[in-house]
Structure 1
Amino acid sequence: MEIETVLAPVDGSEAAMRACEYAVAVAERYGADLHVLHVLGEGTTRAIEDGDLTDDDIVAESDRLMDEVAAMAGDVPTSHSTAYGFSATRLTQHPGSVILDAADAVGADFVVLPREPVTGDPEAVIEKAAEYVLAYASQPVLSV
Structure 2
Amino acid sequence: MSDDTVRCESEPSAFQVGLRRPYMDATADHDDRDSSDESVDDARPHTSDPFDVTTVLVPVDGSDEAMHAVEYAVSVAERYGARVHALYVLDPETVRRSAPGEPDDDAIAAASEGFMDAARDVAADRVELTHSSAYGFSPTMKSRHPGSVVLDAAADAEVDFVVVPREPGGEANELLGRAAEYVLQYATEPVLSV
State TM-score, norm by structure 2: 0.66
SS in 1 for 2:77: helix
- Structure 1 partner of 2:156: 105
| Identity across matched positions, percent | 53
- Structure 1 partner of 2:123: 73
Alignment of 1:31 onto 2:81: yes
- Structure 1 partner of 2:60: 10
Question: Do the aligned residues in 2 keep the contact of 1:45 with 1:87 (CA within 8 Å)?
Answer: no
Alignment of 1:131 onto 2:186: no
> Structure 2 unaligned runs (5+)?
1-50
Cα deviations by residue, 1:73-100 (Å, 9 ceiling, x for unpaired)? 1221011000011234312323201100
Q: Distance in 2 between matches of 1:104 and 1:28?
A: 21
Alignment of 1:115 onto 2:166: yes
Shift of 1:52: 6.6
Which structure has more RCO (C-alpha within 8 Å, separation ≥ 6)? 1
Name segments (4+ residues, structure 1) moved above 4 Å: 49-52, 119-122
Write the letter of the residue equivalent to 2:188. Answer: S
Question: Do the aligned residues in 2 keep the contact of 1:116 with 1:130 (CA within 8 Å)?
Answer: no
> Structure 1 unaligned runs (5+)?
none
Cα deviations by residue, 1:50-109 (Å, 9 ceiling, x for unpaired)? 85732x333322211110101111221011000011234312323201100100011110
Q: Distance in 2 between matches of 1:32 and 1:47?
A: 37
Write the letter of the residue equivalent to 2:94. Answer: T
State TM-score, norm by structure 1: 0.87
- Structure 2 partner of 1:94: 145
Question: Do the aligned residues in 1 keep the contact of 2:65 with 2:167 (CA within 8 Å)?
Answer: no
Q: Distance in 2 between matches of 1:33 and 1:128?
A: 25
Normalized per residue, the structure richer in helix is 1
- Structure 1 partner of 2:93: 43
SS in 2 for 1:82: strand
Q: Distance in 2 between matches of 1:105 and 1:53?
A: 29
1:132–1:116 CA distance, 2 compared to 1 (3 A): farther
Alignment of 1:142 onto 2:184: no
